[in-house]
Amino acid sequence: MTRGSPHDAVEVISSKRDGASLSRSQIEWVVDAYTKGVVADEQMSALAMAILLNGMDRREIADWTAAMIASGERMDFSGLSRATADKHSTGGVGDKITLPLAPLVAACGVAVPQLSGRGLGHTGGTLDKLESIPGWRATLSNEEMVAQLESVGAVICAAGDGLAPADRKLYALRDVTGTVEAIPLIASSIMSKKIAEGTGALVLDVKVGSGAFMKDAARARELAEVMVALGTDAGVRTVALLTDMDVPLGRTAGNAIEVTESVEVLAGGGPADVVELTLALAREMLAGAGVTDVDPADKLADGSAMDVWKAMIRAQGGDPDAPLPTARESHVVTADADGVLTRLDALAVGVAAWRLGAGRERKEDPVQAGAGVVWHARPGDNVTAGQPLLTLLSDTPERFDRALAALEGGYRVDPPGTPYDARPLVIDRVG
């Protein structure tokens, strides 16, 4: 304990280790002390593990989230001429929804301050995808962000260093100490940034399935309920959709190839599942912002969402009409027999895309803009022997073997006539 401090790290760790509820004073002290370097990484690691094993009650999670928010700045969009709404996805494979969603909601009259991140492991990052567009930049000042929201209506950018710095430090620690799965810490990590961001309404896309962080529907629902409660208690109109991630979204997993697919959606086409989820989330965001007289499907059809997309990309230095990078090498995986594709595992596809160069193992690793996986059939489709099922893309063909290893058992063709029962894309709604 430092002189004049009300607590010390060992006391706080021991309390949670023994199953006690941490007081607000303990939580405020330990988060602040860790942010300032008074509490060491090994001490916070021990506390995070105690939280993973013993959990936190709703009051503790709310206090922890408030302390994370208090570690930095809070943004204020109250001066904008329209309401704000944001969306957060817990991460999946082929999850390019943010790209068409932000301009679509803006075209309906609601401003979208979308703070996004980079991919790590098998889940893709929105900023990595957008950085495949020539000239586009992820880093904006708060003043630039507010100005773009007023003039364009949508912004997708990186969170500034001043937003919940305690979370940035703790997230990196959790990633290397086996404590990422702690629901109280997941919920407070996500919600501290979203509440500090200052949006008026928030829609959470909580993925469930093999390619998601949450494999089990019950745990995904628990996480959704905790986050909705945190948002609601903080005065943010918050709802969550539980959505399927056993099968990857759309037809592509990568960076530039997902941008191409997103533009197809904005042009009124694109894969049916991507369109379905984009519209479902858009309607929830609009409802949270109090806009109920606009159908977002109309804004895809009339081109106005595409207009906002182009304006948003240009405002951040990008050229929306420039050719996107393409991979130098490709490898095609074909069907061994006639039949029905009954399995396309999201995790297998995500790991394959990651190994091809679309993702990173460490946060400082570069990504290949053109790398990834394209699938030419979805579960339930009839296929014929020799038909292309997947195309692997990479600048470095020596990566193909490890990507193919990731796909072993990740897809299956059963005999003709085999029934396939698809799980609904939107499984449940919380809030």
Catalytic residues: 88, 167, 174, 189, 193
Nearest of 64, 66, 60 to residue 19 by alpha carbon: 60
Q: What is the DSSP string of 106-169?
A: HHTT-BEEEEE---BTTB--HHHHHTTSTT------HHHHHHHHHHTSEEEEEPPTTS-HHHHH
Strands (E), 303-409: 329-334, 339-344, 372-375, 382-383, 388-394
Instruction: Specify the 3-state DSSP secondary structure of 7.
Output: coil
Sign of CA dihedral 202, 203, 209, 210: negative
Half-sphere exposure of 216 (CA within 13 A, CB side): 6
Look at the block and give the residue holding tokens 């399927």: 244
Q: Are 168 and 344 in contact (CB under 8 A)?
A: no
Look at the block and give the residue holding tokens 């586009």: 136
Three-state DSSP string of 308-326:
HHHHHHHHCCCCCCCCCCC
Look at the block and give the residue holding tokens 């606009």: 294
Distance of CA 182 to the CA centre of its chain: 17
Question: How big is the CA angle at 210 (ends 355 and 248), to the nearest 5 degrees?
Answer: 65
Full strand arrangement of the beta sheet holding 339-344:
382-383, 339-344, 411-414
Half-sphere exposure of 197 (CA within 13 A, CB side): 29
Residues written for the chain? 431
Distance CA 306, CA 294 (A): 16
Distance CA 69, CA 324 (A): 38
Distance CA 52, CA 54 (A): 6
What does the DSSP 8-state code read for residue 422? P
Distance CA 56, CA 58 (A): 7
